[in-house]
Amino acid sequence: MIAELLIAPGGDRWQDSSIAELFEKRLEGSYELYMQYIQSMRRVLDDINRELLIDSEWAEKLLANSQLTSSKRMKLKAFFSKEGLSHQVYKFKLCNNEAMRKRLFGELQNYNDKLERLFKASDEDLRIATNRKSKQQSKAIDTAICSFWKKAKSAYQALASAWTCQCQQHGAKLLLQYRIAGKAEFDITLKGFIASNWLVQNIRVSEVDETEKARLDESITPLETVPIHQPSRAQSYPNGSALQMKGNADAIVKSRRHHWWPFTSATHSSQSPSVTPTCVTASSSRSTTGEILNICTSFEPLGTLCYGYVSDQNCRYYLYNIPHNSANVMPSVTLDQILQGEIHPVFSRSQRYTLSLIIASTYLQLLESPWLSPSPKRADFLFPKGNSDSTLVEIDQPYISQSFRLMNKQDALSTSENSFHFAGALDHLGILLLELCFGQILEDQPWRKRLPAGENKIEKAGYDVLAAREWQCQVNEEAGADYAEAVSWCLGGNRSVAPEKWRQEMLHRVIRPLERSRDYLRTGGVGF
């Protein structure tokens, strides 16, 4: 648009009211002063115009014919012509009005300088306002991320309260993510649908605003249209209708490719248990308002985009369908297998740093919620493989497993803000970061081998931390100052932080440095 305006000064585009509105919005409080300067410049230019007689008819002819008089005779003849005499008068006037011209051009330059200072001041005001807005948005996002564990806890409670069947064998795999926003959204693979002969069901659990809530409530299939039948285990499930939905469907269909991995790993089996569950009909799985009363039998019809919602106190979490192929069964490997070298090829430093950021972010998001224990084992972090023979492992898409049970009062008290001790959990995270930094486990390090094994969990944890603090001295040379700062804060630097501020400190002392370490490798800072 600016290029068009410069190409044709005074053209039709200059009459466009939308451009004037944009310009006025850009200058904000400086707009009136700007217009005053422009009007003054126009007045000066008019004076210059009159002084130089630029608009006179004879001056234009003179300029047009100035190149036609080439010989001396022609030039002499032209000198005594009417146009030539006018030209001499014009030159005489210019010579005698030099002081006036200098004053006018000086005045024009003065207004031009004022415009330049005005624009510089306006640009600085805009920069300050933009920075202030950016900091406010960043602070709001940081607050949301540091409070995310409350949403995670609420979503877990909402899902747990909707397991009203007698199966008592349902669980989930939660996709771990490095979040840059605090929106309560979870990608989950549910297991244990023996009543309907399903191995797994993949869903996205999302808290929505009031506007979206009303639209979703209208889209939920009425109960009388829900078929009551038991699908076959070998049945293939259509997902074409879900791909055509609008709104949140676009985000769901474009979501990660591997959300349908079943619940298989070295420590978790997909074998069907021998327990005979109590079947519940689809008509009793959801209320007339769309609230899911029994998740076990609520995923009908299979083409539905949104199954309904589960609730916890004043929060609603809607369950969306993520299409998948139930006929394919993919195995998974654990972080313990990866670090002990059982998986080949060996993962690159960039991949390990990316995983460090995801796991550290998981601690920030999920500690104090039922999704994550304070000291998860390496075997608790699962990674899907393409198939049993494949070496391809999606290391940047880890999952953790969790079974569903309602928290009683004692559980709620043990995970409350007042009773949670973050220091031990962060020690455990510091050790995980060390292992991912070097691609080795703590037990194989000489600093740990020369210490006692420990007669109980508390002693073992203490010796592990002592060995880790010796090992961390090697991090700066191996991974740089940012990674070293994150490890150091986890292994002792957090001890001086107020209990109610540890998440905010962790965000700036662990997550941000790990993010810089990852980005440095991604942008080619180091050739690994």
Q: What is the pLDDT along the chain (528 residues), one digit of tens a residue?
A: 888 888 888 888 888 888 888 888 888 788 889 889 999 999 998 888 877 766 566 556 555 655 544 455 555 455 555 555 666 666 666 666 778 888 888 999 999 999 999 888 888 888 887 777 777 767 777 888 999 999 999 999 898 888 877 765 677 889 999 988 778 899 998 876 544 445 677 889 998 765 566 666 565 554 443 333 333 333 333 333 332 333 443 443 334 333 333 333 333 333 333 333 333 444 456 665 688 888 877 776 555 688 889 988 778 899 988 876 544 456 788 999 989 988 777 788 888 999 999 999 999 999 999 999 988 999 999 998 766 555 678 777 899 988 876 555 445 444 444 446 789 999 999 999 999 999 999 999 999 999 999 899 999 999 999 999 999 999 999 999 999 999 999 999 999 888 889 999 999 999 999 999 999 887 765 433
What the block records as the tokens of 248 is: 């949140």
Domain 333-528 class, CATH top level: mainly alpha
Question: Exposed, middle or buried by CB within 10 Å (0-12, 13-18, 19+), for 114?
Answer: middle
Cα–Cα dist 400/372, whole Å: 8
Cα–Cα dist 24/22, whole Å: 5
Domain(s) labelled CATH 1.10.510 in the chain stretch across 333-528
3-state helix, strand, coil in the chain (%, to 5): 55, 10, 35
pTM of the model: 0.65
Cα–Cα dist 317/471, whole Å: 44
User: At 377, phi and psi to the nearest 5?
Assistant: -80, 160
Q: Are 29 and 37 in contact (CB under 8 A)?
A: no
Cα–Cα dist 515/498, whole Å: 24
Q: CA distances (Å), 185 to each of 115, 200, 204, 206, 317, in order?
A: 50, 19, 7, 4, 9
Question: Exposed, middle or buried by CB within 10 Å (0-12, 13-18, 19+), for 101?
Answer: middle
Q: Are 189 and 259 in contact (CB under 8 A)?
A: yes
Q: Are 331 and 265 in contact (CB under 8 A)?
A: yes
